[in-house]
Structure 1
């Protein structure tokens, strides 16, 4: 991975929504067809995660069935990164990660994108998909 891509991934809670907005291309769990969507990514303790507010998501089902996907950077740099997703299932680990993510989302700069305060951490832990991302 080149330095520009590494800098694009090095977001902090002070990073604007545009810096964390990416696309991902997954392979459909049932159809086998490529599916591209826009999503935010998060960085916690130097690791990259994908998640959304509590709900069932097809991108999560796709990554469970086919964990290799493309992570498309599109702000500051255009790059298509080969990636692998692994679900985070351990409750204590989910709580640690979601605490950081919810704290991040409650930063004032996200008010125009999300109503604040964001749903409580326990709702995220019990109801949100969470994938840890590694780059190949």
Structure 2
């Protein structure tokens, strides 16, 4: 089984559990995450996304590794906008050509930091 650091470097599909912005109940979904510029990001195609609205209301969430390693990581989402958003989305599309043309300024984007994991944007 891979270490947490290896999983964060090579895996792409995770589950996240957010807090429902209206209900206050946990909401778990499967989602892709990206690594760009030695940081971690969650994005998607343009449109309204429940996970994004939930993270705007309550930025602390659980990031569930489930591919090469299994772990539930405490995480924090920081919404990304403006020039930083344009730079990150362009970088993601360059590294993952399948996303080329699918991510726009209307795409949701958050940077993910982890609690207690040295070298992974940890907040300790």
Would you say the 8 A contact 1:25–1:71 is kept in 2? yes
Q: Distance in 2 between matches of 1:86 and 1:35?
A: 18
Secondary structure in 2 aligned to 1:84?
A: strand
Q: Distance in 1 between matches of 2:100 and 2:113?
A: 27
In structure 2, stretches of 5+ residues that fail to align are: 116-124
Residue 25 of structure 1 is aligned with which of 17, 24, 33? 17
Would you say the 8 A contact 2:77–2:111 is kept in 1? yes
1:125 Cα deviation after fit: 3.8
The aligned residue for residue 106 of structure 2 is 127
The aligned residue for residue 7 of structure 1 is 6
Secondary structure in 2 aligned to 1:126?
A: coil
Which one has a larger percent helix, Structure 1 or Structure 2? 1
In structure 1, stretches of 5+ residues that fail to align are: 12-18, 107-115
Give the structure-1-normalised TM-score.
0.78
Aligned pairs for 1:38-117 (under 5 A) are 38-89=30-81, 91-106=82-97, 116=98
Which ranges of 4 or more aligned residues in structure 1 deviate by more than 6 Å? none
Q: Aligned pairs, how many?
A: 114
Give the structure-2-normalised TM-score.
0.86
Question: Over aligned residue pairs, what C-alpha RMSD do you find?
Answer: 1.5
1:117 Cα deviation after fit: 6.6
Would you say the 8 A contact 1:55–1:127 is kept in 2? yes
Distance change >3 Å, CA 104–CA 65, structure 1 → 2: same
